[in-house]
């Protein structure tokens, strides 16, 4: 049982958490930068790095204070070292190295996507493995066979846009603010998911990869007319815009649920663990829960506050790395890729 400080700065959330034993989340502080990036309609890497520098110190202090922890209580410092924006990752990794050296505590490097994959296990003890892990975030849409914390095999992944990216791009087509996922989720509650039959791209019969660029383009042309990219939105009333949002969301959710059921068939597993920013989506959570219930599979969704980027999932996975003896040195480098 270890007490771990987890630091996360891979994209546009500056986050730190204290987690004991991989389950007991004593604090989970997240300073979101969305207000800084909103006017650009997406994350601007240079602005993200600067904001991490400005906020990280205070975020770590708040996480320590919130957990009632001093440096003596900490057993290790965990940090996201990949994948993500290199400039942003560097801020977290440099801070973690500095604390590791100053406090003489072990340093643990964590893969952000694997931390998402394992995040449903924070609230489940014993862990829900083996399970099919579905990670749906802004940068990644992947299916995994999770045998255990130390054995995670990739089954399929997005070949073009990630699901979250598609949510954000479609939100921009509908002139909704960034980040678009939560906006579409909200608007879809007022719309008809069957108003438009957007293409459910399933790729080959057995394929577990994803492609979401087709549905994004389909929404663009449905709004503006075939082959046109502008000029259509002003002609739609609020009800019609809500129908677009609801039909797009239903399309993405159908594909995610369909592929996850395929993964259950192919692996013979009987549990699903859902994670990542898009896992906060209300329709995805309810439809996947229903599909699992229909076939008698167990369903574990990460708690909403562990879906979008956070330090708790970094510290929670680091618990297992810590006990396996995985240690990073002060030469730890960052990487844009998983
Ligand atoms: O995991 P995350 O915080 O960052 C990455 O690792 O990429 O995911 C962010 C993504 C964004 O694309 C955002 O629009 C999406 O998660 N998202 C949602 C919802 N909440 C966040 N998408 C659909 N419905 C939501 N409720
Ligand atoms: Zn993430």
pLDDT 10s digits, 77-86? 999 999 999 9
Cα 137 to ligand 1 centroid, rounded to whole Å: 5
DSSP calls for 159-174? SSS-HHHHHHHHHHHT
Measured by CA distance, the residue closest to atom 7 of ligand 1 is 138
pLDDT score of 48:
97
Question: What's the CATH number for 128-302?
Answer: 3.30.420.40
Measured from the alpha carbon of residue 8, the closest ligand is: 2
Q: Which atom of ligand 1 is nearest to the CA of 113?
A: 6
Q: Residue 209's pLDDT is what? A: 98
Q: What is the pLDDT of residue 217?
A: 96
Q: For residue 278, is it left (φ>0), alpha (ψ between -120 and 50) or beta? A: alpha
CATH number of 3-118+309-323: 3.30.420.40
Q: Looking at residue 267, what is its pLDDT?
A: 98
Q: How far apart are CA 6 and CA 218, in angstroms?
A: 40
Confidence (pLDDT) at 161: 94
The pLDDT tens digits for 146-172 are 999 999 999 999 999 999 999 999 999
pLDDT at position 298 is: 98
Protein residue whose Cα sits closest to atom 13 of ligand 1:
181
Q: Where in the chain is the domain with CATH 3.30.420.40?
A: 3-118+309-323, 128-302
How many angstroms separate the alpha carbon of residue 330 from the centre of ligand 1? 32
- What is the length of the chain? 338
What pLDDT score does 338 carry?
87
Whole-number pLDDT of residue 275: 98
Please give the backbone phi and psi of residue 86, each rounded to the nearest 5 degrees, phi first: -60, -45
Is the torsion defined by CA of 244, 249, 252, 255 positive or negative?
negative
How far is ligand 1, taken at its centre, from the CA of residue 101, in Å?
A: 34
Q: What pLDDT score does 174 carry?
A: 98
DSSP 284: H
Of the candidates 98, 46, 105, 97, the residue with the CA atom closest to the CA atom of residue 75: 105
Pocket test for ligand 1, best of 138, 184, 246, 310 (most atoms within 8 A of CB): 138
The minimum-distance atom of ligand 1 relative to the CA of 308 is 3
Identify which of 143, 152, 96, 110 has the alpha carbon closest to the alpha carbon of residue 22.
Answer: 110
Dist CA 266 CA 194 (whole Å)? 29
- Residues 280 and 289: their CA atoms lie apart, in Å, by 13
Ligand nearest to the CA of 304: 1
Judging by beta carbons within 10 Å of its beta carbon (0-12, 13-18, 19+), is residue 331 exposed, middle or buried? Answer: exposed
Q: Return left, alpha or beta for 72; rule: phi > 0 is left, psi -120 to 50 is alpha, else beta.
A: alpha
Q: Is the pTM of this model over 0.95?
A: yes
The residues pairing with 127 across neighbouring beta strands, listed in sequence order, are none
Question: Which DSSP string do the residues of 245-276 spell out, in sequence order?
Answer: HHHHHHHHHHHHHHHHHHHHHHH---EEEEES
Q: Which residues of the chain have pLDDT under 50?
A: none
């Amino acid at each position: 049982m270890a007490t771990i400080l987890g630091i996360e700065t891979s994209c546009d959330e500056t986050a730190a958490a204290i987690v004991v034993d991989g389950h007991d989340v004593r604090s989970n502080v997240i300073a979101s930068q969305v207000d800084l990036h909103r006017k650009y309609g997406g994350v601007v890497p240079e602005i993200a790095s600067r904001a991490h520098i400005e906020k990280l110190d205070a975020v770590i202090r708040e996480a320590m204070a919130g957990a009632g922890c001093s440096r003596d209580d900490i057993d290790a410092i965990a940090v996201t070292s990949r994948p993500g924006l290199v400039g942003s990752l560097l801020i977290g990794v440099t801070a973690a190295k500095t604390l590791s050296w100053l406090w003489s505590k072990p340093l643990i490097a964590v893969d952000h996507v694997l931390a998402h994959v394992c995040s449903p296990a924070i609230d489940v003890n014993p862990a829900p493995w083996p399970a099919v892990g579905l990670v749906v975030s802004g940068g990644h849409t992947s299916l995994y066979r999770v045998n255990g914390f130390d054995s995670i095999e990739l089954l399929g992944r997005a070949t073009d846009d990630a699901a979250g990216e598609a949510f954000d791009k479609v939100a921009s087509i509908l002139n909704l603010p960034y980040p678009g996922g939560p906006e579409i989720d909200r608007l879809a509650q007022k719309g008809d998911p069957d108003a438009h039959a957007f293409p459910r791209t399933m790729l080959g019969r057995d394929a577990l990869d994803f492609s979401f660029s087709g549905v994004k383009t389909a929404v663009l042309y449905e709004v503006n007319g075939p082959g046109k990219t502008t000029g259509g939105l002003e002609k739609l009333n609020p009800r019609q815009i809500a129908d677009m949002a609801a039909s797009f969301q239903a399309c993405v959710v159908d594909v995610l649920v369909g592929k996850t059921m395929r993964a259950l068939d192919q692996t013979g597993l009987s549990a699903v663990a859902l994670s990542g920013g898009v896992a906060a989506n209300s329709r995805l959570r309810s439809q996947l829960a229903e599909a699992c219930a229909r076939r008698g599979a167990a369903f574990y969704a990460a708690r909403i506050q562990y879906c979008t980027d956070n330090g708790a999932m970094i510290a929670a996975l680091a618990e297992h790395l810590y006990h396996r003896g995985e240690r990073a040195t002060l030469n730890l480098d960052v990487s844009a890729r998983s």
